[in-house]
Amino acid sequence: MDMNRRSLFAGASAIGLSVVLPATANAQSPLQLSVAVRSPWMANQVALTSSDVLFLGCPRYTPKEETPALARRDANGKLMPFPGNGWNEWKLGDDGRDAFVYLNSVHIFADDTVWVVDQGAPSPDVFPHEFSIPKPGTQKIVQLDALTGGILTVLRFDEDVLPSGAKMNDLRFHGSKMYVTDSGLGAIIVHDFATGETTRRLSGLKPMMAKPMKMTLALQLDSKEKPFNPPNSDMIEINQDGEWLFWAAPTGPLYKIETRHLNDTKLRDDDIEKHVQHVADIEFSSGCSMDSLGNFYFCETKTGKITLLAPSGKTATLAFDPDFVRPDGAFISADRRLYVPRKPREPDASRRHHSQSTPCSCPKA
């Protein structure tokens, strides 16, 4: 079971934004963005199959709007709820065990199926507290058939893996192993499909934790910076051969560890922590992606930049646009395009709770 997405485009010289990049992974000046799709719903995740079927993850950011959790672009270019049944019809107070409650990640790997991470409860920042605690079984990982919408897999973990306060965030695969970040308490969850065994690693340790900070939140009606508790271990990537796992909280730094240490069930967390390596400090970022050469593309929340981090440690601003607001979970498609969902700039802050278009930048190598 090897679903590493980068196997689809191994050998690509570079990933660019809208134009052909030089043969080396650098950009002399920011590149232009182009719009791939506009959505009537706020979106924070985008993913495409090898045949360019596009999916958007649409977390419920506010109780004032009707939104599907997952949408697919049809042959006519229209976005439709997917799979278009009870999975997209959850409402406050519903059970949510067999429905999408709050999708935080949508991803497609080499097998062209759709994987989503459901945190099982909406954000406590905008929803009443009683609805912000996941009910039993609502926090889950779901695999869907990209064509039919059929549910292929549903994974739910017990309290040893997901203690109170844990929030599954994003996932990557290599071989039979699945790696999942917990951005609530800070941890890496390792699930082995071959054995069915699941372990929780590095829980609450320093490399998993975000730095306290102040920032202007997307749903604030004023522009003042306020204290903000960022998610903990959030972004996650794995290299081409599965040897190294990378992760970061939005505040950074970017860390890495050899997966053999995470997979060694005989090692204690404090022993595993000794093998964690600092890769780079980063600007506050909501999402990232990694290409087959090991280049990272960070979506910087506060600056609106897409920053390239090369394996050498050198960085470059790949793209920047004043209207590129809060870029989020990026995805590299099979034809080597970088897709990035973002929130449009709003002329009137009072409209922030209204349904907005969400373009995706469409780069090309």
In sequence order, which residues have a C-beta less than 8 Å from that of residue 76 and are 6 or more positions away?
Answer: none
User: Across all residues in the chain, what is the average pLDDT?
Assistant: 83
In this prediction, residue 216 carries a pLDDT of: 57
Do 87 and 140 contact (CB within 8 A), yes or no? no
Do 31 and 17 contact (CB within 8 A), yes or no? yes
Asked if the 5-348+357-361 domain carries CATH number 2.70.150.10, the reply is no
In this prediction, residue 349 carries a pLDDT of: 36
Give the torsion through C-alpha atoms of 270, 260, 171, 74, to 10 deg.
Answer: 170
pLDDT tens readout for residues 150-201:
999 999 999 999 999 999 999 999 999 999 999 999 999 999 999 999 999 9
With cut-offs at 50, 70 and 90, classify the pLDDT of residue 344.
Answer: low
In this prediction, residue 23 carries a pLDDT of: 37
pLDDT tens readout for residues 55-65:
999 988 777 67
> Higher confidence at residue 61 or residue 72?
72
In this prediction, residue 203 carries a pLDDT of: 97
Q: What percent of the chain has pLDDT over 90?
A: 58
Q: Is the pTM of this model over 0.75?
A: yes
In this prediction, residue 64 carries a pLDDT of: 67
In this prediction, residue 8 carries a pLDDT of: 31
What token pair was written down for 230?
């960022």
Q: Is the dihedral of CA 279, 281, 287, 289 positive or negative?
A: negative
pLDDT tens readout for residues 237-294:
999 999 999 999 999 999 999 999 999 999 999 999 999 999 999 999 989 999 999 9
Report the greatest alpha carbon distance in the chain: 56
Query: CA-CA distance, 169 to 233, in Å (whole number)?
Result: 8
> Higher confidence at residue 213 or residue 69?
69
